[in-house]
Amino acid sequence: MFNKIFPFLHLGALLAVLVYAVVSLLRGNVARFALILLLLAVYYIVLLHPAVKKEVARRRGADS
């Protein structure tokens, strides 16, 4: 059951961090906004992108 809930919690946390970055930008803290976006981009590239590519390849292989 946790395997089904975890992706939604993870997505919610990522969206919350993104909202926090936008709020920081609106308050005039450009440096904090840039740092959060940079760290989110690194997190995606290092951790999430390889898994996304594997899942896409797996699903394309299952369709053929």
pLDDT digits (tens, 9 = 90+) for 39-54: 999 988 888 888 888 8
Pair 22, 33: CB distance under 8 Å: yes
Q: What percent of the chain has pLDDT over 70?
A: 98
> Looking at residues 48-61, what average pLDDT do you find?
84
Q: Provide the whole-model pTM.
A: 0.71
Residue 38: pLDDT band by 50, 70, 90 thresholds? very high
Pair 37, 14: CB distance under 8 Å: no
Q: Is the pLDDT of residue 4 over 90?
A: no
